[in-house]
Amino acid sequence: MQSGTIHLVGAGPGDPELLTLRAARLIKNASIIVHDGLVGPAILDMAHPDAQMVCVAKSRSKHTLPQEDINALLVREALAGRDVVRLKGGDPFVFGRGGEEMEAAQAAGVDVQVVPGISAANGAAAATGIALTHRDAASIVSFVAGQCKGLSEQDWAGLAGKGRTLVIYMGVKTAPSIAEKLMADGLAPDTPLAVVENACRTDMRVLRGPLAALPDIVEAHKVKSPALIIIGDVTARENAALASLVSEISA
Ligand code: SAH
């Protein structure tokens, strides 16, 4: 039997209008969709009513399938001749483990196609008016993962500071260690930052303050995942979109 194709599809940050046309077509036509906790109901609702929906939630609170089991599931379905849509929040290759799934598919001799999505950083930037680069403020932008595992070993020196924007994914739980780490690296305590929770969704929240206040911002406002921490002067520039959204916190 001819094996099917695994499509690693980026679902963007939550708003269905931010899907690519290719992602929308694949979602509508799929007979099986394997998705995680980040893909919202409005996008899942676009699937065919008869499509098999498999949730392999990646959120801490829900049961999570280990990555090897997800890889095995994708490969098994494809080898059985089905085209599989593996739907992921944002972009599959930005902290989405798309690389691991692609390699597993290739190792099994299964055809794999990647459909890029709008990553949370790009979605949050557009929704808040915080330009990640700006000729007057930053010409370098970096994406890092702030989850607990290996945080202290990660070398972020030089990624934040004058002329630079640092976007931290998965940093809500570790916000105090993140602030400490960056200040230990020499970043000024008054470096401006913004926390963007639920970017591109109806319940989006934006909080701003200095680096030193990051732990307080997260705690006082009960910031929950998914949220991004954007650090740098670009977050301190005023724009009308931001003004209507933001809450300020002082040190
Ligand atoms: N592949 C995804 C990232 C997955 S890692 C992408 O490209 O966007 C999960 C992290 O992404 C979350 O912990 C959060 O930091 C960020 N994230 C995803 N969707 C988000 C959203 N709508 N608003 C804010 N942050 C989001």
Percent of the chain whose predicted confidence (pLDDT) is above 90: 86
Phi-psi category of residue 141: left, alpha or beta, with phi > 0 → left and psi -120 to 50 → alpha? beta
Is the domain 5-115 a CATH 3.40.1010.10 member? yes
Q: What is the pTM of this model?
A: 0.94
> Which residue from 18, 35, 38, 144 has its CB within 8 A of the most atoms of ligand 1, so it is best to mutate?
38
User: Using a 6 Å cutoff on CB, does residue 14 contact ligand 1?
Assistant: yes
Percent of the chain whose predicted confidence (pLDDT) is above 70: 95
Q: How far is CA 201 from CA 40, 59, 123, 221, in A?
A: 9, 18, 10, 18
pLDDT of 153 = 87
Instruction: Please determine, for residue 246, whether its predicted confidence score (pLDDT) is greater than 70.
Output: yes
pLDDT of 251 = 46
- Average confidence (pLDDT) over 110-120: 98
User: Using a 6 Å cutoff on CB, does residue 122 contact ligand 1?
Assistant: no
pLDDT in tens, 45-90: 999 999 999 999 865 555 678 999 999 999 999 999 999 999 999 9
Instruction: Please determine, for residue 230, whether its predicted confidence score (pLDDT) is greater than 70.
Output: yes
Rounded to whole angstroms, the Cα distance separating 98 from 118 reads 14
Cβ contact 227:250 at 8 Å: no
User: Using a 6 Å cutoff on CB, does residue 36 contact ligand 1?
Assistant: no
CA-nearest residue, atom 24 of ligand 1:
227
Instruction: Please determine, for residue 148, whether its predicted confidence score (pLDDT) is greater than 80.
Output: no
Under the banding of pLDDT at 50, 70 and 90, the label for residue 30 is: very high
pLDDT of 58 = 60
pLDDT in tens, 188-210: 999 999 999 999 999 999 999 99
**What's the first-to-final CA gap in the chain, in angstroms?**
64
The topology (CATH level 3) of 120-248 is 3.30.950
Surface-to-core class of residue 50, CB atoms within 10 Å of its CB (0-12 exposed, 13-18 middle, 19+ buried):
exposed
The mean pLDDT value of the chain amounts to: 94
- Average confidence (pLDDT) over 198-223: 96
Q: Where are the domains of the chain?
A: 5-115, 120-248
Q: Residue 36 catalytic?
A: yes
Cα 88 to middle of ligand 1, angstroms: 10
Top pLDDT among 246 and 164 is at 164
